[in-house]
């Protein structure tokens, strides 16, 4: 496994990030343990979760599963770089101040995640979404306190626009604070909007890009072939397949030409971008986890990259040249 620096930090992480969102709702705790153990065996040391995962308000089901796995010992906690998130509502009674990025909720949410995860510190603490109502001076003051207490090491964002990252890091710079070191965005062959401004600002400020939904909800994982084999897609996925059927036919034909699986090609395409640190893979089974490693070996030539661009056109590059001159 060739590890990469997370953005401009000295922190080394695997080029694939293990997403845990399925742990609890779709993957049993026992199977989740097996997937995490296998991930470590394969050299994957970067795990992503969130306080809302598990989808039972206020319970943090997925964080608890990770915490109980760590509690088994064997160096599990020490080997893992854990990224978790806050922003979503964690009050079962819908009380205020149990969501967003107020100093109160940042401190409260961090303490709760630490307890569920059964750990003393969080490696990468991420803002799950923007909070336009809370000033960055307040946010960074709370985060600095947690850093000083040794409860978090790095700060990251998720679902931020380019100007949000600029505003956040300029405010951090004024406080002589490191600021954001990563951004977690929707990014895949079918959804390339962040190439306009988010990717350029990540490169300029030294943020590592952590793409979520790299397979477009499974659509880029060989959806047409699976349909021929009788595997049914969800209603939403089927709508997306119907919308992009022509492109998917070209894409899966291209993958067949180069003798690679569609899911591996989609991940490899992300990894060829130097700004991308690690796409988030969300395996429900061990087979899905081990199969993802092939993506680390695939390299494209210029003609192949152009073919992919022709099938899945991006916005035309960075703004403003993408739409002006």
DSSP string of 94-122, one letter each residue: --TTSSTT-HHHHHHHHHHHHHHHT-S-E
Residue 108 and residue 5: Cα distance in Å, rounded? 29
> Can you tell me the distance from the alpha carbon of 195 to that of 237, in angstroms, rounded to the nearest whole number?
24
Looking up tokens 């699986």 gives 261
Helix (H, G, I), strand (E, B) or coil at 286: helix
- Report the relative pairing of strands 180-186 and 208-212 from DSSP bridges: parallel
Give buried/exposed letters for 190-220 (b at 16+ CB in 10 A, else e): bbbebbbbbbbbbeebbbbbbbbbbbbbbbb
Which of the residues are catalytic? 53
15-28: burial string, b at 16+ Cβ within 10 Å, e else: bbbbbbbbbbeebe
Helix (H) / strand (E) element for 19: namely: strand 17-19
Which residues, other chains included, contact 41 with Cβ-Cβ below 8 Å and sequence gap of 6+? none
Q: 311 is written with which tokens?
A: 């099938």
């Amino acid at each position: 496994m060739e590890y990469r620096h997370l953005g401009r930090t000295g922190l080394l992480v695997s080029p694939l990030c293990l997403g845990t969102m399925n742990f609890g709702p779709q993957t049993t705790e026992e199977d989740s343990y097996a997937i995490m153990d296998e991930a470590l065996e394969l050299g994957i040391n970067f795990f992503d979760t969130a306080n809302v995962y598990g989808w039972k308000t206020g319970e943090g089901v997925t964080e608890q599963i990770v915490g109980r796995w760590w509690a088994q010992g064997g160096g599990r906690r020490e080997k893992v770089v854990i990224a978790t998130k806050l922003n979503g509502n964690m009050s079962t009674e819908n009380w205020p101040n149990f969501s967003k990025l107020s100093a109160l909720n940042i401190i409260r949410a961090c303490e709760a995640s630490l307890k569920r995860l059964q750990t003393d510190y969080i490696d990468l603490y991420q803002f799950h979404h923007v909070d336009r109502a809370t000033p960055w001076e307040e946010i960074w003051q709370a985060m600095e306190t947690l850093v000083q207490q040794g409860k978090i090491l790095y700060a990251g964002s998720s679902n931020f626009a380019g100007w949000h990252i600029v505003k956040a890091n300029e405010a951090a710079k004024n406080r002589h604070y490191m600021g954001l070191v990563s951004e977690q965005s929707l990014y895949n062959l079918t959804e390339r909007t962040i190439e306009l401004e988010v990717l350029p600002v990540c490169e300029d400020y030294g943020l590592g890009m952590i793409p979520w939904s790299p397979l477009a909800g499974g659509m880029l994982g060989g959806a047409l072939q699976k349909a021929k084999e009788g595997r049914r897609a969800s209603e939403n996925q089927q709508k997306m397949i119907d919308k992009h059927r022509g492109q998917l036919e070209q894409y899966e034909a291209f993958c067949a030409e180069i003798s690679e699986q569609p899911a591996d090609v989609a991940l490899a395409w992300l990894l060829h971008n130097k700004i991308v640190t690690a796409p988030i893979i969300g395996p429900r089974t061990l087979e899905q986890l081990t199969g993802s490693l092939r993506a680390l070996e695939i390299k494209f030539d210029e003609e192949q990259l152009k073919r992919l661009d022709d099938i899945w056109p991006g916005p035309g590059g960075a703004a403003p040249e993408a739409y002006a001159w």
